[in-house]
């Protein structure tokens, strides 16, 4: 079998399943596209960033970021404040509630993915994770 035949086999299989190799936890469905990524970015990478920086680093359109920030602000997970060093800029900060939700969702996601990985032997799970990382890395 060659790479093209394997790709065809993989695509044929993916057409028959409704979800990817590891479906997301059901509770993450309450977040629209980009919202969880914004929370994770603010908690783990950098708090107090511009919407433009979020757009660039999360590879989402500025429109998608704006919509997600509006929703996250309504939920009180983030707040927007004027940059003290440049009054023209607005920076996004995570709130205590946003941190709490992010940490809780991470625990739920870990439990969900652990349950899915347990369908495999430890060796298969290790190979699966390594292959996914290799497949996704540019």
Q: Report the 10 Å Cβ neighbour count for 26.
A: 9
Q: Report the 10 Å Cβ neighbour count for 58.
A: 17
| Structural domains of the chain, with CATH | 28-136 (1.10.10.10)
3-state secondary structure of 94: strand
Tens digits of per-residue pLDDT, 88-130? 999 999 999 999 998 998 888 888 888 888 888 888 888 888 8
Within a 13 Å sphere around the CA of 101, how many CA atoms are in the beta-carbon half? 21
pLDDT at 21 over 70: no
Q: What predicted TM-score, i.e. pTM, was given to this entire model?
A: 0.72
**The residue count for the chain:** 138
Within a 13 Å sphere around the CA of 19, how many CA atoms are in the beta-carbon half? 7
pLDDT at 89 (0 to 100):
93
């Amino acid at each position: 079998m060659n790479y093209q035949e394997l790709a065809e086999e993989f695509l044929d299989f993916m057409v028959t399943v409704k979800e990817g190799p590891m479906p997301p936890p059901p509770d993450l469905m309450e977040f629209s596209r980009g919202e969880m990524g914004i929370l994770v970015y603010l908690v783990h990478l950098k708090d107090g960033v511009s919407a433009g920086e979020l757009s660039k680093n999360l590879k989402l359109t500025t429109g998608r970021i704006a919509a997600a920030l509006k929703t996250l602000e309504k939920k009180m997970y983030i707040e927007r404040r004027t940059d003290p060093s440049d009054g023209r800029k607005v920076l996004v900060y995570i709130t205590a509630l946003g941190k709490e939700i992010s940490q809780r969702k991470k625990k739920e996601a870990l439990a969900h993915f652990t349950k899915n990985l347990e369908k495999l032997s430890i060796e298969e799970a290790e190979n699966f994770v390594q292959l996914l990382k290799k497949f996704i890395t540019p």
